[in-house]
Structure 1
């Protein structure tokens, strides 16, 4: 019997997705450019539903029609090279699926290219890492809905399940699936940075030790902050080395990134969308890699603060319990803003690329399998159902109430961090975004005047329609 689907690329993600499919009863053909890897997989991860193949022709021939070919290779040129090899082997109506971290514009280009040859192409965002691939990832498929019907059952079966639903929903046309995955990763950057800032405050201002911080995060994971990232953060604080020291304390304070966060920021710039919390998270990673410079600056630029506050009652007029509450509420409000910014970018992309995005369903995808899975995604999904045409998540009844409830705690906490010289750029950006968004009469009128003064760029007026120019220099000289 021919296989139901084939997987090309047997690295960690590809192999685990293939095993996941096989476990769910699907016959899976496997192939890898380095064919010795195929034998290794069959030896170390043998599955009765696997069919090993040793050439692309043999691989394609082993699949039932229409053929479903799942590519799990490195993004960029390797995907294009593999597609070119497959074109001469596959037939019209077959479906090529890219499950890697491809840039969405590459996916749009590939979709159009293969459409001319009557070959279907799906760009599929997959989140969850090695464990998710093996036992249930979040899946974000983009492409024609007609082609998706042929893989729908497979994808929904292998995906994570949350609240009785599959964490796989059809997104929209061409590059939409990879776009949603890109935004997911941007939110992930923000989420991680916000949590690390909460840690910095508890440690450097609250004076909490690792054991105490672990208990705080453990408690938070039983609240509205319940999420995968909060859960693993609590677990991280438990780990000790053989000498009794905490592993976390021995890890270098430098964070790398693979580029998806950068993609999200560049796209936001192109579409004119403020994703300042996500941008702050990316910039924080850049700054983290300036370790030598930061060490030098620490001895040159002084804090001029009271430093670490072991006695909060003396220095801040509050106890630890109150500080922990401020941090918790501030983290929650900041997380709301970061998700709101991500969905705002999706809304702009929907218009720009003529997609039809269901934001409530996208929030449901994120509830399981992926890195940003969190309890309050249920609230996000419900909010978009109740107010589907809302301009911004923070304007919905539920989340505007949450922000109004916790906003003063965020203000109070940030005033303390400023006084104590503890950097919390992502939380600060969240407050800046809220204050800017709620200001109906901003200072941008001065910017309009400045641009007209030095460049005759014209300006709009409040009292009449049209574009206007004023002879600033001439009239100032009179």
Structure 2
């Protein structure tokens, strides 16, 4: 199958390579000249045979919106645009309507697999019409992980791919996936900190590595934590600053809107905000209050820090 792919970064570039290994023809476009096969979006569309499938792998938000708007003017009825980035599901409905006015199909695909997807495959959560999914199915089949098998050697259905529902369902599913990921990462991080704080535990990396086999908390994320600790046992080469992609926020927003309790995911999101504060204003206020009502000791800011704040 022939595919146009826009965005050849870490994810997009590896996806293109995996598809080519599976025998598909990928024509790629990227802002970086050394990565692309064509020099512009019009050239990309011209190089594809109708009906065309164009997969967008650029940053969510305005970069994706601008790309979809440009593709609307370049593509024809029967073509399909796939947004494989981390767009908010509400953007998908706008894009689908805009493209649908010209008879262009639209799919939103939540993609998980990170830099390991080239070898392991990508989990794909797809939103859109069945007829558009069918047009892109050969690409999905090449990108997803190999299907696990049962004891008789028969492939088990569903692993690594789902047509989750209409437009928006793919990115909504990926949003919830990332919210869960936040909470899992936070739990592993807190467990690591407690182990590291207790002198009784002499081999923290070894304890965490022991959890990767036979326990109910084993996971790929845990495997990655073990890998990180093998490379840097005390995590001395990395700061405790953690960004958020936006999907954790959107997950909590949807939980509020639908009255779904999500204390673990919400707490993990707020913990990331805490990680960016060198000196928490909240805790300054708490310390001041304890001093006011109980005379509890407070730690004064060092004079040097006052005179020369970082």
State the TM-score, normalizing by the size of structure 1.
0.55
More strand by share: 2
More helix by share: 1
1:255 is paired with a residue whose SS is coil
Shift of 1:255: 2.0
CA contact (8 A) 1:156 1:167 kept: no
**Larger Rg over CA atoms:** 1
Shift of 1:5: 0.8
Query: Which position in structure 2 is the counterpart of 1:21?
Result: 19
Which of 9, 33, 41 aligns to 2:35? It is: 41
1:75 is paired with a residue whose SS is coil
Which of 9, 12, 16 aligns to 2:10? It is: 12
Shift of 1:263: 1.0
Which of 204, 211, 215 aligns to 1:213? It is: 204
CA contact (8 A) 1:17 1:134 kept: no
RCO comparison, higher one (Cα < 8 Å, 6+): 1
- Correspondence 1:251 to 2:247: no
> What is the rounded CA distance, in whole Å, between the counterparts of 1:155 and 1:214 in structure 2?
37
2:165 is paired with a residue whose SS is coil
> What is the rounded CA distance, in whole Å, between the counterparts of 1:69 and 1:272 in structure 2?
37
CA contact (8 A) 2:18 2:142 kept: no
The list of structure 1 runs, each at least 4 consecutive aligned residues, that deviate by more than 6 angstroms after superposition, is: none
> What is the rounded CA distance, in whole Å, between the counterparts of 2:55 and 2:4 in structure 1?
6
Query: Which position in structure 1 is the counterpart of 2:126?
Result: 141
Query: Which position in structure 2 is the counterpart of 1:196?
Result: 189
Q: Write out per-residue CA displacement over residues 183-240 of structure 1, whole angstroms, 9 at most, x where no aligned residue.
A: 000000000011111122222246424xx12221222111222211111222222234
Q: Write out per-residue CA displacement over residues 130-162 of structure 1, whole angstroms, 9 at most, x where no aligned residue.
A: 221565111111111110001112112221235
State the TM-score, normalizing by the size of structure 2.
0.82
1:19-168 counterparts in 2 under 5 A?
19-32=17-30, 34=31, 37-38=32-33, 40-41=34-35, 52-133=37-118, 135-161=120-146, 163-164=148-149, 166-168=159-161
> What is the rounded CA distance, in whole Å, between the counterparts of 1:253 and 1:64 in structure 2?
49
Shift of 1:275: 0.8
CA-based RMSD: 2.3
1:126 is paired with a residue whose SS is strand
> What is the rounded CA distance, in whole Å, between the counterparts of 1:167 and 1:118 in structure 2?
29
Query: Which position in structure 2 is the counterpart of 1:281?
Result: 268
- Correspondence 1:232 to 2:217: no
